[in-house]
Amino acid sequence: MVRVPLTDEERERGERLGLALRDARASASRSMVEVAAEAGISVETLRKIETGRIPTPAFFTVMALADAVGLPLDVLRAAAEGAAPDIADVAEAS
C-alpha cells in the first residue's frame, strides 16, 4: 500500500499538535520520560511527535498523551487547528 504524501497544511497541523503537547508537558513540569511512560509510548516517539516528525500520530496515542499532560482533547484539537487558548493556562487549570 502506498501512502499519499502529506500536504503542507497537514505537516503544519502536526507541528502545532507537537508544540501544544510540549507546552502542556512543560506547564505540568513533567519530563519526557514520565509522559511517555504514562502514555505507553517510547521517549523517542514522544520526541518525534513533539517536534512534528510524526505529524499524524494514531488517535489513541494522542488521547493517551492528552491524558498524560492533563489537556482536554477538544483543546488539543483546537491547538492543532491553530485556534486554541494558551495551552499553559489550560494545562495548569486541569
Classify domain 8-93 by CATH number: 1.10.260.40
Computed over every residue of the chain, the mean pLDDT equals 90
pTM over 0.95: no
pLDDT of residue 1: 78
pLDDT digits (tens, 9 = 90+) for 52-86: 999 999 999 999 999 999 999 999 999 999 886 66
Alpha carbons 47 and 3: distance in angstroms, whole number:
23
Alpha carbons 58 and 78: distance in angstroms, whole number:
17
Q: Residues 30, 69: contact at Cβ < 8 Å?
A: yes
